[in-house]
Amino acid sequence: MTITATTSSPSAPADDVATSRRRARPLRWLAAAVLAVLTAQLVAFLVGNRRFGWGTVAQYLFDPSVLSGLGVTVLLAVAAMVIGSVLGGVVAAAQLSDFGPARWAATAWVGFFRGIPPLVQLIFWFNLAYLLPRISIGIPFGPTFASWSANDVITPLTAGIIGLSLVESAYLAEIIRAGVLGVDLGQRDAAMAMGFTPAQTFFRIVLPQAMRVIIPPAGSQFISVLKGTALVSVIAMNDLLHAVQVIYNRTYEIVPMLLVACIWYLVVVTLLTVGQRRLERHFARGHLRDVRPVEVPA
Amino acid sequence: MTERATGSSARTVLRLRDVRKNYGAHAALDGVSLDVAEGEVVVVIGPSGSGKSTLVRCVHQLEEIDGGAMYLDGELLGHERHRGGLRPLSARQVAAQRRRAGMVFQQFNLFPHFTALRNVAEAPRRVHGRPRAEAEREARALLERVGLADRAGHYPRQLSGGQQQRVAIARALATKPRILLFDEPTSALDPELVEEVLAVVRELAAEGMTMVVVTHEMGFARDVADRCVFMEAGRVVESGPPAALFGSPSSARLRAFLSRHAADHPADQKVLS
Ligand SMILES: Nc1ncnc2c1ncn2[C@@H]1O[C@H](COP(=O)(O)OP(=O)(O)OP(=O)(O)O)[C@@H](O)[C@H]1O
Ligand SMILES: [Mg+2]
The predicted-structure confidence for A238-247, as pLDDT tens digits, reads as follows 889 999 999 9
* Nearest-by-CA chain A residue for B181: A193
pLDDT on residue B1: 40
Burial of B233: CB neighbours in 10 Å, binned 0-12, 13-18, 19+: middle
| Mean pLDDT within B3-28 | 79
Mean pLDDT (chain A) is: 87
> Is pLDDT above 70 for A196?
yes
Name residues whose C-beta falls within 8 Å of residue A223's C-beta, 6 or more positions apart in sequence: A269, A272, A273
3-state secondary structure of B68: strand
Residue-wise pLDDT tens digits, B61-105: 999 999 999 999 999 999 999 998 999 999 999 999 999 999 999
CA dihedral sign, ordered A179, A182, A188, A190 = negative
For the CA atoms of chain A, what is the radius of gyration? 28
pLDDT on residue B100: 92
Distance B49 CA to ligand 1 centre (A): 5
pLDDT on residue A291: 58
- Measured from the CB, is residue B53 less than 6 Å from ligand 1? yes
Task: Give the nearest partner residue to A195 out of B96, B153, B154, using CB atoms.
Answer: B96
Q: Are B236 and B32 in contact (CB under 8 A)?
A: yes
Name residues whose C-beta falls within 8 Å of residue B179's C-beta, 6 or more positions apart in sequence: B13, B14, B36, B72, B100, B101, B102, B210, B211, B212
Alpha-carbon distance A259 to nearest alpha carbon in chain B (angstroms):
44
Q: Are B70 and B78 in contact (CB under 8 A)?
A: yes
Helix (H) or strand (E) holding B255: helix B252-264
Task: Give the nearest partner residue to A209 out of B98, B113, B115, using CB atoms.
Answer: B113
> What is the residue type of A106?
A
Q: At what angle do helices A100-115 and A64-96 cross, to 10 degrees?
A: 150
A→B contacts (Cβ < 8 Å), by residue, are 184, 186-187, 189-198, 200, 204-205, 208-209, 283, 285-287, 289, 291, 293-296, 298
| Mean pLDDT within A72-96 | 92
Strand B41-45 with B227-232, pairing:
parallel
Residue-wise pLDDT tens digits, B20-68: 999 999 999 999 999 999 999 999 999 999 999 999 999 999 999 999 9
- With cut-offs at 50, 70 and 90, classify the pLDDT of residue B183: very high
Give the largest CA-CA distance in chain A.
Answer: 103
> Is pLDDT above 70 for A7?
no
Distances B150 to A54, B115, B257 between C-alpha atoms, Å: 62, 12, 42
pLDDT on residue B75: 93
Domain annotation for chain A: domains and CATH numbers: 49-283 (1.10.3720.10)
Alpha-carbon distance A272 to nearest alpha carbon in chain B (angstroms):
24
pLDDT on residue A178: 93
Residue-wise pLDDT tens digits, A132-186: 878 888 888 878 888 888 878 888 888 889 999 999 999 999 999 999 999 999 9
Task: Give the nearest partner residue to B157 out of A194, A197, A286, using CB atoms.
Answer: A286
- With cut-offs at 50, 70 and 90, classify the pLDDT of residue A84: very high
> Is pLDDT above 50 for B141?
yes
Q: Say if the Cβ atoms of A189 and B62 lie within 8 Å.
A: yes
Q: Are A148 and A136 in contact (CB under 8 A)?
A: yes
